[in-house]
Structure 1
Amino acid sequence: MNSFLNKFREFQKTVWFDWFCYLWTSVLAFLAFAPFYLSHFVWIAPFGLFWIAHKYSGQYKRLFFHGILFGVFFYAIAFHWIFHMAQVFGNFPAPVSALILVLAGVLFGFKFPIFLLTYSFLSKKIGRHSVWVAGFCGLVADMLGPQLFPWYWGNLAAGNILLAQTVEIAGVYGLSFLVFVVSYTIFETNLFHLPEILRSPEKRFQFAKFWSLPFALFLLFWVAGTSLYFKWKGVKPVKTLEVLVVQPDAPMSIRDERGRSPLQVIEELMDRMDRLVDDAVRKEGKNPDLIVLPEAGVPYFSANKTPITELNRMYWYRFEALMIIFANRYKANVFFNEIDAKYKRVSSGKEYLRYYNNNVIYDPNGIRTNAYQKQYLVLFGETMPFEFMYEISPQTGRFEPGESFKLLPYFSATGEISKQPDPLHWKDTEDLNADAVRNYYAGTKTELKESGSMLPLICYEVIVPEFVRKFRNSGNPEFIANLTNDKWYGTTTESDQHFELGRLRSIEWRRWLVRSTNSGISGFVDHLGRFVPGKSTGLMKAETTWEKIEVFDSPPGFYVIYGNLIPWLMMVLTASYYLTILLSNHRKKEAK
């Protein structure tokens, strides 16, 4: 054993050890996350950071450089799909896509240099390493580091369903703090000498003293998480909703590689969507309360008939007609996604035309009631950081962010529903426009009441907890609906990671999450943050999934109301404490 330790110490002096550290942290963090869910690896993944911080203690320029390399390695391994996205979504060539992946690691992996610099600085100035320094620096890095695809160390620990419950109070940052406290404790404990430690009363005492704070903190999180889990597991829903999620696997472009015309491609998609819904309803033998279609389920078109969408050939009467058919055929709410447009100035000039990514709901009578415009736009897909980049990637849209945080209501019938006429289908919309479809179902029109509301999120918005909290002033939603198009990422791990990151919103809000994606993974998460087993779809498949979701009548929880209050208090109070120590040490040096 001593021979192995001596060889490892010699290895630490080499440049190859630095590369080993980058790989250690990046690979283990990746494995701790979706789709692998080996969350126990999160407790040792930061070892690479500790090794580098100790090896280059006080050498801040080197630590900064090593932190950048940690970011590049992590992004290249865990978020390798950025390369795929840049090629497919941004239409960049492979060399430029590789450069974008590297730059993403440099710019958005900044949490790594932040940790190394703060950890080394505090350890050196205070004169010792400590578990609290490690936790504090991990918290600072997670809270202050800029993000492109927001992830946190706490997300990796949240694979443990009991620990995950604590985000209701302390948010994901609270788990990040726990990760670094426990990881540093394990790192500083020489487990190879554990038998020797246990034989010595003095060493046993030191060992117990060193582990007391981390153990108490971990126990606190574990007990709190377990209590919250069983508390919410025992809460009864006030009602249920039958929700049908449709995953149509729409093409990314209606310019087909197999020689089909755009009309043939879009006709096939709409017919497939119609059959998916019809087959799912026949199989269940009952009508859904809500039909949920994904982001870009009908790409490039709008169901919103306005002078602007008609002028720019975005409005398609057959798109709107099919949504009205779905609503009336099953007397269900239909929640779907479209592209809308407005002029930025009072002008009809193309240079002023701006697009909006819309989530729309039609009531059971097929009436358009409300829409939500996406606010958190995807870089290199919906917007560019610099104007000249639109020339490099003409495929990238010039989208504008919405501004409203309103919830979207859904409706239910208050009386009996009239006998349905023969159902219309997609093929019928060739001869019937939206008004004609409404007239056809006029005899089935029924009185409706607003039954509740949903929190509508588009794509990446679901993974940003601070953003989702902004809806709290609009009311108390009954569930969260996330419409996403992850097809741009192919069969990479992105869709698993996206779903996993959004899962914690269910715990923060104690609401079910309904996720509808264009090509997978679609599914449901309950109010305990558990994926509903057997109800998640596959990748690159046209499927449906149906679930009776539960609605809870509970007020907003601590995190929704107060946000990151606890992590910020921890950070500010700890920073004040360390500042006091630094000032005291400075005065002592001056006195000498």
Structure 2
Amino acid sequence: MRKHSKIPKIKHPLLLLLPVAILFALALEPFGLSSAGFLCIFLILYITKQLTIISSWKQTLLASLLFSSLVTLTSFYWIWNAIRNISGQGIVISSLLFLVYALLSFYKIGFIFFGSVFLTKQKIIKDSYLFLLVLPSLFLVSDWICPMIFPVYWGDLFRNQILWRQMARFGVEVLGFVSVISAALFYLMFLKQTKGFRTYFPYLLPIVCFFSINLYFLAETIPQVGIVHLALIQPNTKYAKREIQENQEWMTSTIQSVYDIGLETIRFAPKPIDLLVLPESSIPFLGTLDSKNPNSTYSKSFVDVTESFVKLSNAPLAFNELVWDGGSRNSFTLLQPISFVSDRRYKQALLPFGEYLPGENHFPLLRNLFPETSHHIPGNLTDALRFQTKAGEMVTLSPLICYEILYPELGRKMIGHSPSEFILNLTNDSWFESQTETMQHAGAGKLRSIELGRPVVRVAVTGLTTAYDLWGREMMGELQTFQKAIGYLDLPLVPKERTTPYLQFGPRPWRIMAVFLIFFVFFRSPRPILINKMKNEIEI
């Protein structure tokens, strides 16, 4: 008698893409339901299996475009605001640009769908091989070879589960890989007709092992080497378009507002400040680097504000500015007390269509569509920044500007090049005008802190201003968004020499393993024509 699967058959599996997209959104902030992420992956596995059975390239393409569009509409709908603000276009043009973006933005799912259909067209692959070896590997490789404007990894669906996310010590790609394997184990278990713990034990044991590893990481005791007292300023400066730069009244009011909240921060500090921090775009368009270039952003008022903060607090000031140094640069600047020497690090990972226009040299008309896009040029890999605390200790920090927190490998390169004791991320999310975007952007810091083995402090111009420890736990709560706020943080430091598996080995071993598993299954599995030939020989 034929045994039936406990997973019901659905006549039109593509209809599941809508609930899958909703579950995807529920897994990310502001909901943060890792159970939704798990169910999302489970249904993606089911849909992929059905696509391999249908074996139609048209259906596979349709599924890829639908998934990308629905995920964008449910999880990343806030991108519409960014497109509208950066393009300066009306609702119709902005909506058309958003539609094109939605169709293509999450194209990485196509790699999984098309890869699975192609492999199963060529070979007869057992379900156990497909779900436990091929599909997790395709998920991992898609994270690797499919760059996105706003990078999202499969492991991000599980970053809000404190125990499970500890696997990110091996990298977010491994967190995604392990999560897909776990969902696949349940999928294979549900395919079985038989019941009983002994039958299910082989499927549950690997998941228990993953939990045990994470529990060990979570229980680990990490030595501290000191504490620094940070004063974090959230001035709530609104995003500003280029015409505002010539509006003297607006610029003067903004500078005065930042100066006032800075004075308040210093005056009411509960203890001596070791580092005063202003976020990205507190005072837009301006800088403190003097230059004779006609494009110089130098502002004497900006210089006066920053130097006043340093004098009054007798502490270094970390802030963001726009400077002209061989071109427009988005800079993370550390102004030292007494000497008033500025140490600058230029942003390396620039936001496409926000800070530069990809392909503008070949398609100049793009500038007409995105007139608010800046002309920034990227910086190079440099040393960590250093400052002295009130106790006389030298402290090092790795500077990240806004968008850079989304790139695990950038953080790994920076710390590998110049080790630090914590990571400081200055950011500006005001262009998106969305609480959801702000929370999703901040959520990436949880995984960076685990991957890189260092606390991450995030200071945002309109929020969220927060901090995460080495396990991705919040250390100070979140300051209210879209309002002026001040945060004081006693930040525990870790040794500069601290390392993690991700820092030691990076993503390369896992990527090699994923490619090997795909090829292993491909060459080990028989061809369909060989199976048909064997059947014909038996009949004869």
Selected match of 2:267 from 282, 304, 308: 282
CA–CA distance in structure 1, aligned partners of residues 455 and 465 of structure 2: 14
| CA displacement, residues 24-75 of structure 1 (integer Å, 9 cap, x when unaligned) | 1111011011111111111111344334334332223321221121111111
CA–CA distance in structure 2, aligned partners of residues 270 and 406 of structure 1: 30
CA–CA distance in structure 2, aligned partners of residues 6 and 466 of structure 1: 41
Q: Does 1:52 align with 2:47?
A: yes
Aligned CA distance change for structure 1 residues 533 and 279 (closer, same or farther; 3 Å)? same
Q: Does 1:71 align with 2:68?
A: yes
| CA displacement, residues 485-519 of structure 1 (integer Å, 9 cap, x when unaligned) | 10001134111000111221111122111111110
Is 1:76–1:101's contact at 8 Å kept on the other side of the alignment? no
Q: Does 1:252 align with 2:233?
A: no
Matches within 5 A, 1:497-512: 497-512=440-455
Measured after TM superposition, the shift of residue 412 of structure 1 is: 4.0
CA–CA distance in structure 1, aligned partners of residues 6 and 394 of structure 2: 69
Could you say which residue in structure 1 is the equivalent of 2:494? 552
Is 1:242–1:547's contact at 8 Å kept on the other side of the alignment? yes
CA–CA distance in structure 2, aligned partners of residues 109 and 481 of structure 1: 29
Is 1:243–1:290's contact at 8 Å kept on the other side of the alignment? yes
The structure whose Rg is larger is: 1
CA–CA distance in structure 1, aligned partners of residues 154 and 519 of structure 2: 24
CA–CA distance in structure 2, aligned partners of residues 271 and 166 of structure 1: 46
Q: Does 1:300 align with 2:285?
A: yes
Could you say which residue in structure 2 is the equivalent of 1:411? 388
Aligned CA distance change for structure 1 residues 450 and 239 (closer, same or farther; 3 Å)? closer
Matches within 5 A, 1:310-329: 311-312=294-295, 314-329=297-312
Measured after TM superposition, the shift of residue 264 of structure 1 is: 2.8
What amino acid maps onto 2:69 in structure 1? Answer: V
Measured after TM superposition, the shift of residue 590 of structure 1 is: 8.5
TM-score (norm 2): 0.89
CA–CA distance in structure 1, aligned partners of residues 309 and 439 of structure 2: 29
Could you say which residue in structure 2 is the equivalent of 1:527? 470
Measured after TM superposition, the shift of residue 585 of structure 1 is: 7.3
CA–CA distance in structure 2, aligned partners of residues 73 and 197 of structure 1: 36
Could you say which residue in structure 1 is the equivalent of 2:229? 242
Is 1:21–1:51's contact at 8 Å kept on the other side of the alignment? no
What amino acid maps onto 1:577 in structure 2? Answer: F
Aligned CA distance change for structure 1 residues 92 and 561 (closer, same or farther; 3 Å)? farther
Aligned CA distance change for structure 1 residues 503 and 372 (closer, same or farther; 3 Å)? same
CA–CA distance in structure 1, aligned partners of residues 100 and 502 of structure 2: 33
CA–CA distance in structure 1, aligned partners of residues 86 and 502 of structure 2: 34
Is 1:157–1:163's contact at 8 Å kept on the other side of the alignment? yes
Could you say which residue in structure 2 is the equivalent of 1:470? 413
CA–CA distance in structure 1, aligned partners of residues 7 and 164 of structure 2: 37
Which is further off, 128-137 or 244-253?
128-137
| CA displacement, residues 220-269 of structure 1 (integer Å, 9 cap, x when unaligned) | 221111111111xx223111000111111113227899xx9933322332
User: Match of 2:331, SS?
Assistant: strand
What amino acid maps onto 1:319 in structure 2? Answer: F
Which is further off, 400-409 or 241-250?
400-409
User: Match of 1:159, SS?
Assistant: coil
CA–CA distance in structure 1, aligned partners of residues 147 and 295 of structure 2: 37
What amino acid maps onto 2:38 in structure 1? Answer: W
CA–CA distance in structure 2, aligned partners of residues 255 and 564 of structure 1: 40
What amino acid maps onto 1:220 in structure 2? Answer: C
Is 1:327–1:366's contact at 8 Å kept on the other side of the alignment? no
Could you say which residue in structure 2 is the equivalent of 1:106? 103
CA–CA distance in structure 1, aligned partners of residues 242 and 380 of structure 2: 33
Could you say which residue in structure 1 is the equivalent of 2:356? 383
Selected match of 1:397 from 347, 359, 374: 374
Selected match of 2:34 from 35, 39, 47: 39
Aligned CA distance change for structure 1 residues 267 and 186 (closer, same or farther; 3 Å)? same
**What 5-or-longer segments of structure 2 have no aligned partner?**
none
User: Match of 1:45, SS?
Assistant: helix
Q: Does 1:141 align with 2:142?
A: yes
Is 2:125–2:521's contact at 8 Å kept on the other side of the alignment? no
CA–CA distance in structure 1, aligned partners of residues 11 and 68 of structure 2: 22
Is 2:451–2:503's contact at 8 Å kept on the other side of the alignment? yes
Could you say which residue in structure 1 is the equivalent of 2:113? 116
Is 1:359–1:371's contact at 8 Å kept on the other side of the alignment? yes
CA–CA distance in structure 2, aligned partners of residues 104 and 244 of structure 1: 39
Measured after TM superposition, the shift of residue 588 of structure 1 is: 7.6
CA–CA distance in structure 2, aligned partners of residues 473 and 185 of structure 1: 36
Bigger relative contact order, structure 1 or 2 (CA pairs below 8 A, ≥6 apart): 2
| CA displacement, residues 424-464 of structure 1 (integer Å, 9 cap, x when unaligned) | xxxxxxxxxxxxxxxxxxxxxxxxx7812211001111111
| CA displacement, residues 138-190 of structure 1 (integer Å, 9 cap, x when unaligned) | 2232222231111112111121112212211x211112112222223334554
Selected match of 1:513 from 456, 475, 482: 456
Could you say which residue in structure 2 is the equivalent of 1:224? 213
User: Match of 2:237, SS?
Assistant: coil
Is 1:44–1:187's contact at 8 Å kept on the other side of the alignment? no
Q: What percent of counterpart residues are identical?
A: 24
Measured after TM superposition, the shift of residue 367 of structure 1 is: 1.4
Aligned CA distance change for structure 1 residues 189 and 474 (closer, same or farther; 3 Å)? closer
CA–CA distance in structure 1, aligned partners of residues 311 and 431 of structure 2: 33
Q: Does 1:89 align with 2:62?
A: no
CA–CA distance in structure 1, aligned partners of residues 404 and 7 of structure 2: 48
CA–CA distance in structure 2, aligned partners of residues 582 and 188 of structure 1: 19
Is 2:423–2:456's contact at 8 Å kept on the other side of the alignment? yes
**What 5-or-longer segments of structure 1 have no aligned partner?**
344-353, 415-448
Could you say which residue in structure 2 is the equivalent of 1:437? none
Aligned residues: 520
